[in-house]
Chains A and B, each alone.
Chain A
Amino acid sequence: MAFKKSAIPFSGTAEQEKRLKAVIAEHKNDPGALMPILQKAQDIYGYLPIEVQQMIADEMDIPMEKVYGVVTFYAQFSINPKGKYKISVCLGTACYVKGSGDIYDKLQEKLGIKGGEITSDGKFSLDACRCIGACGLAPVLTVNEDVYGRLTTDDVDKILAKYAD
């Protein structure tokens, strides 16, 4: 099994660590504290890499596996950072029947990453999302704030080319 450590090196600061430790201290004696701690940790770091999960586990005196199990159970948590350009493909019902699954697959192939991951240069991250309320434009994807609709797999290259910088 491959070690799923993020390809992007961890760049947490002492300031972030201080904030995280304060959050954990605040929940020290609260038995159900892992969820709020993880949510705040993700606010602080933007994602939950192994370094952050280890810190949480050590501070809470629980195995890291316990942290990781919760992180991977909930879609709201990410173990990878987001890219400079966050690509989000809608796999909601309307987009899906209009072929967004193929677009998603093509993006994975083009970028060489799976959903939830980030390219090693930190430029693109890819996620699937559920309905974004633009069913009339199905199939839809977004890159940061830009929305692209009525897509076919042939559009993928053109869209990626726009973010060449």
Chain B
Amino acid sequence: MVNIKINGTAYSVPEGSTILEAARNAGIRIPTLCYLKDINAIGACRICVVEVKGAKAPVASCVYPVNEGMEIFTNTPKIINSRKTTLELLLSNHKKECLSCVRSGSCELQELCNEYGVDEGSFEGEKQVFDIDISAAHMTRDNEKCILCRRCVAACSVNQGIGVIGANERGFATMIGSPFGMELADTACVSCGQCITACPTGALAEKDDTDKVLEAIADPDKMVVVQAAPAVRASLGEAFGLPVGTNVEGKMIAAMRRLGFDKVFDTNFSADLTIMEEAHEFLDRVQNGGTLPMITSCSPGWVRYCENYFPEFIPNLSTCKSPQQMFGAVVKTYYAEKLGKDPKDIISVSVMPCTAKKYEVGRDDQAAAGVPDVDITITTRELSRMIKKAGIIFNELPDETADSPLGTYTGAGVIFGATGGVMEAALRTAAWKLSGEAADSPVDFKEVRGVEGIKEATYNVGGKEVKVAVASGLANAKKLLKSIKAGEAKYDFIEIMACPGGCVNGGGQIIQPASVKNFTDIRAERAKALYDIDSASKLRRSHENPDIQALYKEYFGEPNSHKAHEVLHTSYKAKTLYK
């Protein structure tokens, strides 16, 4: 520990901490813009400057370590003026569209300008002019709102190991983009959206598909059904002022009903269905000499990464569609037949923590009934905007439950939203199957839980040793796949999620500012909400879901049957895009 003074008060703080961290522990928030814990400590934006006694000039607190006897001043007139000038300079080259900007109210630049009373600024001059990049299926980039903090670049290169965006040119011409002025759609971007949740301003945003949903609901000839992914309920409440990790499942369902959806279902149901298919596919590969390790295919960001960067692992990918797509496929086949409806008259909508889902709905081989399995997908953020615009007072809603039969789920389905959840859910059903369907086969596989980037475990499943690995964040996936290629590691079954921490931290979730993310692990908080639902569930293994049992009995026969393959499985293709 070292002894320091902040604004005249003495504190004892851990050695090696930065001034920013020490101040935060002392209850003082120093504003930041470019700093993102673990991935972007570059001291570039100069918003976090503080005065240190004896130092010639203000220092960047995000990268400046404390030392014994240091006296720090975070709030002097000199510092306040410096921050104001920095904000004015940023505004001088910023498209001030704040009234209608998608990030108005959650923009970190706007919040600081408000705090510091900065409006127009005194630096009028040339502004950079850019076209908005709308080429990608999942997002838009408006560089005229970019403040060059490079948080998106860090998310893309450090967390995801992809790096299709970076800082180009120099001086005033500096801009974030892809090589040779390529549009995002020309690059091997995997659509994960981690850049969007890293962005402090409205420069990056998901493509808004809420109008399409409203139009569908307003069409009297269409039946509109909606599914919401497990992770959505662990984040949606944040848009309405609730703490990170509040489970709002009941209110979420009530809100969707009030928005006018004809049926409100749950992706947790098709997560259970995915496990039935995937666990049996795994057992089949083990017993019949199929390609191992088998790797999960729930995360479209990961699937796209595999196709772009590691096509040699395509035979390892499970052929199972993702839960979103399985749900859509079941709606347009089984459910449509049950209702005697033409699948063309059903609009299938999904609410996802994910931007890559916007790309996934348009993939080949995702149309079991000859029409797209899922018609429209919106993110958690878009749902929150729809709820607000509709005047629904979210926090006063009653808790409701999803419709039947595609709304029933087990604890195994809900943990899909956290890294390790798919693996654990699959192991639960595989262990049951391999133990001769014993009622007391194991349920808890705790070694694969937690936010760590790569997890490994070996389980004795029904007398057979199964070596598993779980990776989240594509930089970790890359590391894992390289070690397999080099022959340094060997596994039977691998779960990979594109986003660090899994879907709870997906690119479509409610955006928390750096001031929260730098000091709270939002991945762990949101995951906890899902594991709490699981541990409180009566049924915790996918095969115990009575509606899943009925679905097989009435329609598919058994897991991996010919019909199941036609409806619930898909295929992959290697891609060559600019990396």
Contact = CB atoms under 8 A, between A and B. Distances in A.
Interface of A: 1-5, 50, 53-54, 57-58, 62-69, 72-74, 79
Contacts of B180: 3-5, 50, 68, 79
B166 A65 contact: yes
A53 B182 CA distance: 14
A66 B130 CA distance: 21
B179 A65 contact: yes
Closest 3 CB pairs of A and B: A63-B163, A68-B179, A65-B166
B186 A3 contact: yes
Nearest to B186: A3
B133 interface: yes
B165 interface: yes
Nearest to A75: B170
A67 B178 CA distance: 11
Interface string B157-181: 1000011111111100000011111
A130 to B, nearest CB: 15
A72 B181 contact: no
B170 A72 contact: yes
A57 B579 contact: yes
Contacts of B169: 72-73
A4 to B, nearest CB: 4
A63 B164 contact: yes
Contacts of A65: 163-166, 168, 178-179
A90 B168 CA distance: 25
Given A1-B131, A3-B180, 19 more contacts: A3-B181, A4-B180, A4-B181, A53-B179, A54-B578, A62-B163, A63-B579, A64-B179, A64-B579, A65-B163, A65-B164, A66-B163, A67-B179, A68-B166, A72-B170, A73-B168, A73-B170, A74-B170, A79-B180
Interface residues of B, number: 23
B131 A69 contact: no
A59 to B, nearest CB: 13
B104 to A, nearest CB: 26
B181 A69 contact: no
Contacts of A72: 168-170
A65 B169 CA distance: 12
Contact of B130 (A1, A62, A73): A1
A72 B175 CA distance: 11
A35 B135 CA distance: 32
Contacts of A74: 170
Contacts, number: 59
Interface of B: 130-131, 133, 157, 162-170, 177-183, 186, 578-579
Contacts of B178: 65
B409 to A, nearest CB: 39
A143 to B, nearest CB: 27
A63 B157 contact: yes
A65 B189 CA distance: 12
27 contacts: A1-B130, A1-B131, A2-B181, A3-B183, A4-B180, A4-B181, A50-B180, A53-B179, A57-B579, A63-B162, A63-B163, A64-B578, A65-B163, A65-B165, A65-B166, A65-B168, A65-B179, A66-B163, A66-B166, A67-B179, A68-B168, A69-B166, A69-B168, A69-B179, A72-B170, A73-B169, A74-B170
Contacts of B182: 1, 3
Nearest to B130: A1
A74 B169 CA distance: 8
Contacts of B166: 63, 65-66, 68-69
Q: Which of A2, A64, A67 has the most CB of B within 10 A?
A: A64
Contacts of A62: 163
Contacts of A1: 130-131, 133, 177, 181-183
Nearest to B168: A72
A29 to B, nearest CB: 17
A2 B579 CA distance: 18
A24 to B, nearest CB: 17
Nearest to B135: A1
Contacts of A57: 579
Nearest to B482: A61
B184 to A, nearest CB: 10
Contacts of A50: 179-180
A62 B162 CA distance: 9
B304 to A, nearest CB: 16
Contacts of B164: 63, 65
A64 B163 CA distance: 8
Nearest to A79: B180
Contacts of B162: 63
Contacts of B130: 1
Nearest to A5: B180
Contacts of B131: 1
A50 B170 CA distance: 19
Nearest to A67: B179
Q: Which of A3, A5, A79 has the most CB of B within 10 A?
A: A3
A102 B166 CA distance: 33
Contacts of B170: 72-74
